[in-house]
């Protein structure tokens, strides 16, 4: 038999590829913390921008709404619920 090719099977075994991936929980925590950081950074930036643009007069005339008798019942209900 000429012209016939033969092949032998080589058993190489099953190699398990080692994938080096970060932990999903760690990645999720980092993403959540970064989103919270950006959210609070935007809030503080908005507060300081409004405070500098509106001027001191606006904040002084609105300060009377923050007096102690007005806020005491609200603060008491938050700190000491019934």
pLDDT digits (tens, 9 = 90+) for 27-66: 999 999 999 999 999 999 998 998 889 887 877 777 776 6
Calculate the CA dihedral of residues 56, 62, 68, 69 and round it to 10 degrees.
Answer: 160
Cα–Cα distance measured from residue 42 to residue 47, given in angstroms and rounded to the nearest whole number:
9
The predicted model gives 4-22 an average pLDDT of: 73
Q: Which pLDDT score is estimated for 70?
A: 64
Helices (H), 55-80: 56-61, 68-79
What local confidence, expressed as pLDDT, does residue 35 receive?
97
Question: What pLDDT, on the 0 to 100 scale, is given for residue 6?
Answer: 74
């Amino acid at each position: 038999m000429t012209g016939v090719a033969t092949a032998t099977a080589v058993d190489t075994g099953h190699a398990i590829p080692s994938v080096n991936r970060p932990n999903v929980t760690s990645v999720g925590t980092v993403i959540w913390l970064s989103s919270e950081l950006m959210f609070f950074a935007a809030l503080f930036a908005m507060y300081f921008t409004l405070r500098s643009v509106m001027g001191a007069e606006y904040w002084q005339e609105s300060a009377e709404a923050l007096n102690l008798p007005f806020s005491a019942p609200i603060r008491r209900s938050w700190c000491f619920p019934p």
